Structure 1
């Protein structure tokens, strides 16, 4: 089921809101609320508020980056690395030669751009910023929902009322807790999380296998930068895994909600939100948590390396473990935001172009209307049957939407919020990338909803999954604090040989 677009209101929204030339203009939230309903309006209210508050975070992140750029030549730790004569153990068991710590001078300078004295202060600022964002959003939301007179509105009550209105003899659904269904759902959720974590470990195994193979390759550049190339390829594979698992997670979450048999759509939507957020969190951050907290800490030391099937576990980047996390974050954020936005706009646009030809052929069969009243832009007359039929065909051939279409947009932004808070110490430019993305995201979503997609069924609400969102963001904040405390960098890797001479067997 979908609603037809109102040509007059659609034209108004195109002119004032759904256009690329209005990137830096305000949003007509009252018009959006009247046309799409409170739920869509609250999404754009949240997205606009989030984008506005990203400005100070992005500015401070740029300052931290520029600080590292200004002082990396005078940093004593970098000088220690660049002027060192320490010999390092080979990075792999075969073909890899010993190397000098001073060879990583360039990497040490680059890592100082995002790992400097200002990084700790920036991480603390982001933890405070995220808390203030959540509290200020509650006030901002309350102001608007009070103005829209939906502050004390209850979705479940309205759902029940609509059922009675549509069928006075309907029987209310009775929810009966089933231990069997609950146990089954819990078991399936656990298995799903184990699968997601297993995929993260598969990426680890890939890097363990890929790095030595690249070190033995014939291309000198890849051979000299085997660890970096393996990390970048692993990050790309992680991105592809995220894209695939997002669709799998959605399907699994819907099936689990069907098993639970909730007594209302609102309850089913809440359960779906919790499951989807949980699955996505593990999908996105399992590999990153390994890089942040375990990489370089469990691989052993020269003479006693930890191994998988006879192969040494991967080690941190020569300039430190934080560089690995930076590479992962940069690749995933850039690919996820850039490619997702491109496909999010191009795919509906291409489908719309292809379907438009079919729609025009069918519209010709409907006949041609010559009534002047039907073409009156003032909307003072009802359209004739021919115009109504042509309008129905036009709307039918737009991109499909459903009850969870808006959830997909919101999930994308909440995941981005997680990226900009949890590991921001490794990537201070994350808020800037998020800000740039969101400026375009607002208009992209507006153009999609107004021009390319079927009109969403207007739905009342006074929040956007407030309980689920607040719980998820609170968990994100707690995780961010722990990650800022635990993520650190080691300027001197573990492969260092401190004696005047060395025995190669001691490195194995």
Structure 2
């Protein structure tokens, strides 16, 4: 007989389910604590540790979000009075056309609004905030280890080993079983690297779009696209980035599963670790390839007006007229808002729709016990769960942690958005697991697994990326160099940071009002005669690299000090484990 059973799943226990719903899985409990011990008893230690970690992460986001708001308000306080903004808004500098054909010259004062917006996140407080967030990431991990140790010690699973439990289950089922042997293959590793490079190559399609879209729209027939080509291309690039993320997530999962099948790991725990590392690696490059391009390559290898670098006749994209950091800020804001908002709406509505669809499909053909929806039928109508249910939640939060820390220098409000999202995310996930989804199979564990290593790697990347963003992408270093080397005329920095071009195409040397000009300017440090790089360029470049090296070394030292200062295990946990070991040894020696 075939198709006798449709599915196998754990049933929700009505009494405990109602208790969790009353204490935890409801929107009215939005700002109350989580009953982690109750969650552990119902869903197992693995699910409980996820919510314990998510709650701790959300709580530690509060000081980061508060400081990010202070940095934002600091920029807002000088929104109209900052000397640099005043110089841009009152400038009479004529800038060179943004495209090759049919584009007119434009006034630097046209970017007055964007200069004000840029100052909200690119100001003197950004450096201190980036250093704080790098140290915050370390403190978060160290304090999390202490928080975890306290709970797993209370749950009596501190010394529990997943691989040993798998071996015990094998012995119970077959006393003569033999364990799977460890294997290593250079061929498999080579295949993993090839597929990784293939995934990275696919994600570069977004970068190609940005390179091609700006000149295409600037040369188009629509006047709006001509005048706002960079901004439109940037916004479309951010939205396309989000769509790419949704598509590539499914591709990445399929590739990761196939690679795990090829590897033939010796245990389920090893398979889970391998899949987690591969999936996160693929997702990381999918999410951050475009951001790394915007942060460190956009507008830096495209030449200058009159001598642009081209690839297959397409001119490389330039930075936004108000600066390269504006592109990164807008890209981060669009992606974080879209990703978090749409994902939460999708997750919450899908559970309700799935349950309603199942009920409609079953129908009530007669007034019998089926219409009363007994426990097994009520559970059958809930959304299905599998091994990826908890993994997806972890992946979503770790990716958010990456956005919050790696490019926080370009988007100080990222911790605030993450905090607001997580306050709702905790209750949303709780409602899904308790009311909308079938009960997960309880599993025992004493840690969040390889995710701890992933978070440590993200913390290191945050130091490197934020140092490069401040030192290379922002205008903090040029302003600093000018103030202390070429000052005291601080309000002359804008004119100091532009070069003059005198032999541009004459058909483009007209303003929108039809006035002909003899020269135009562009953002660079080049000679007005032969367009070679000036001594100011090399000085600023040297200071940029010096700042990056100094910033990273100082922050890394602070991270090591923070990690040393905060022990992984509380003293009480160490003493409890010592007494447990002593009692166990006495029992064994009797």
Same fold (TM over 0.5): yes
Select 1:485's aligned residue among 467, 480, 496: 467
Name the structure 1 match of 2:422.
438
Residue in 2 that maps onto 1:280: 283
1:121 equivalenced with 2:128 (yes/no): yes
CA distance in structure 2 between the aligned counterparts of 1:494 and 1:479, rounded to whole angstroms: 33
Give aligned pairs, total: 482
2:112 pairs, out of 81, 105, 116, with 105
Instruction: Tell me the TM-score normalized by structure 1.
Output: 0.90
Alignment of 1:233-252 (within 5 A): 233-252=236-255
How far has the Cα of 1:496 moved from its partner? 4.5
The corresponding residue for 2:180 is: 174
CA-to-aligned-CA distance 1:238-284 (integer Å, 9 cap, x gap): 11111111111111111111111112111111111111111111111
Deviation at 1:392, TM superposition (A): 1.7
Alignment root-mean-square deviation, CA: 2.2
Aligned position for 1:424: 408
Relative to structure 2, which stretch is displaced further, 71-80 or 235-244? 71-80
Q: Is contact 1:359–1:393 with CA below 8 Å preserved after alignment?
A: no
1:78 maps to 2:74: no
Partner residue in 2 for 1:413: 397
2:27 maps to 1:20: yes
1:199: how far off? 3.0
Q: Aligned equivalents of 1:289 and 1:207: distance in 2?
A: 13
Counterpart check, 1:226 vs 2:229: yes
Asked if 1 retains the 8 angstrom alpha-carbon contact of 2:167 and 2:179, the reply is no
Displacement after TM superposition at 1:364 (Å): 5.9
Instruction: From 446, 456, 475, give the equivalent of 1:474.
Output: 456
Offset of 1:359 from its aligned partner? 4.7
Q: Secondary structure at the match of 1:102?
A: helix
- What is the aligned counterpart of 1:39 among 39, 46, 49? 46
Q: What secondary structure sits across from 1:112 in the alignment?
A: helix
Output one character per residue of 1:126-156: Cα deviation in whole Å (capped at 9) or x when no partner: 0011110000000000000000110000111
The structure-2 alpha-carbon separation of the partners of 1:197 and 1:178, relative to structure 1 and needing over 3 Å to count, comes to closer
Residue 188 of structure 1: aligned partner: 191
Is the Cα–Cα contact under 8 Å of residues 252 and 282 in structure 2 kept in the other structure? yes
Matched, 1:398 2:382: yes
Contact residue 364 and residue 370 of structure 2 kept, 8 A: no
Deviation at 1:70, TM superposition (A): 0.7
- The gaps in structure 1 that reach 5 residues or longer are 370-386
Deviates more, 1:83-92 or 1:326-335: 83-92
What does residue 170 of structure 2 align with?
Answer: 163
Aligned to 1:7: 14
Q: Secondary structure at the match of 1:113?
A: helix
Q: Which protein has the larger Cα radius of gyration, Structure 1 or Structure 2?
A: 2
Rounded to whole Å, the distance in 2 between the matches of 1:396 and 1:239 is 34
Q: Is this contact kept in 1: 2:215–2:317, CA < 8 A?
A: no
8 Å contact kept, 1:257–1:268? yes
Contact 1:359 1:394 (C-alpha < 8 Å) held by counterparts: no
1:64 corresponds to 2:71: yes
Residue matched to 2:545: none
CA apart distance, 1:415 = 0.4
Q: What do the CA deviations read for 1:200-233 (whole angstroms, capped 9, x no partner)?
A: 3322221222112222344433322110110110
Q: Distance in 2 between matches of 1:271 and 1:494?
A: 52
Shift of 1:495: 10
CA distance in 1, matches of 2:389, 2:395: 10
Q: Distance in 2 between matches of 1:97 and 1:368?
A: 72
Contact 1:86 1:497 in 2 (8 A): no
Q: Distance in 2 between matches of 1:143 and 1:367?
A: 46
Q: Tell me if 1:316 matches 2:319.
A: yes
SS at match of 1:498: strand
Q: Please report how far the alpha carbon of residue 494 of structure 1 lies from its aligned counterpart in structure 2 after TM superposition.
A: 12
In the TM superposition, residue 74 of structure 1 has moved relative to its aligned partner by: 2.1
